[in-house]
Amino acid sequence: MKILGTPVLDYLPALGLALLTAAFLATSYSYSAQARAFPAPVAWVTLALIALDLISRTQTAVGDAIRRHLNPGAHAPEGSHPLGKHFAAALWLAVFAVVLVLIGVLYAVPLYMFASLRFQGRRSWFTSLWVSAVATGALWLLFAVVLRLELYPGYFFGGA
């Protein structure tokens, strides 16, 4: 069975993620206003990105335009993205999530950015370092200074 030219099974991963995100969003609204200041907007952005993903999966002009502009790799020849690369990408995110929990936002984000720019993006050491430093400064400025939100310090630094 197909919906908008795409097999229904192709929509299931995004729909499953949408359900999990909706549950996360609903849970975040049970927190105090300050406690949900970060998780609720992240959930809303995630739902918006999932909507784009669902639309991009359709075999429509809009779906094709979104695929072409937001995911140029989607037009790569079949088999040009081996399963190992998919696994490696998921592993990078899983390691980032673990590091985020262990050492906190302010240390995990620059480490992840540096490592992914240097080793996945094959950028120079200098470029990887300055881009991750600028992004970390912006992260700290936005959340700690402007929004006055305490960034999660990590399990090792008092977040347990």
Regarding whether 123 and 62 lie in a shared domain, the answer is no
Q: In the prediction, which pLDDT does 70 show? A: 78
Look up the domain containing 39 and give its range: 1-75
Q: In the prediction, which pLDDT does 136 show? A: 92
Give per-residue burial for 146-159: e unless 16+ CB within 10 Å, then b: eeeeebbebeeeee
Residue 24: Cβ-neighbour burial (10 angstroms; 0-12, 13-18, 19+): middle
Asked if 14 and 53 touch (Cβ cutoff 8 Å), the reply is yes
What number of other Cβ atoms are within 10 A of residue 25's Cβ?
18
Could you give the number of structural domains in the chain?
Answer: 2
Q: In the prediction, which pLDDT does 122 show? A: 87
| Euclidean distance between CA atoms 49 and 120, whole angstroms | 23
Q: Which residue has the tokens 């300050």?
A: 34
Regarding whether 6 and 28 lie in a shared domain, the answer is yes
Regarding whether 86 and 151 lie in a shared domain, the answer is yes
Of 16, 43, 75, the position where a domain reaches its end is 75
Q: What does the block give as tokens for 55?
A: 């639309």
pLDDT by residue for the chain (160 residues), tens digit each? 889 888 888 889 999 999 999 999 999 999 888 888 878 888 999 999 999 999 988 989 998 888 888 776 666 666 566 778 778 888 999 999 999 999 998 899 999 999 999 998 889 999 999 999 999 999 888 888 887 888 888 888 886 5
Q: What is the pTM of this model?
A: 0.57
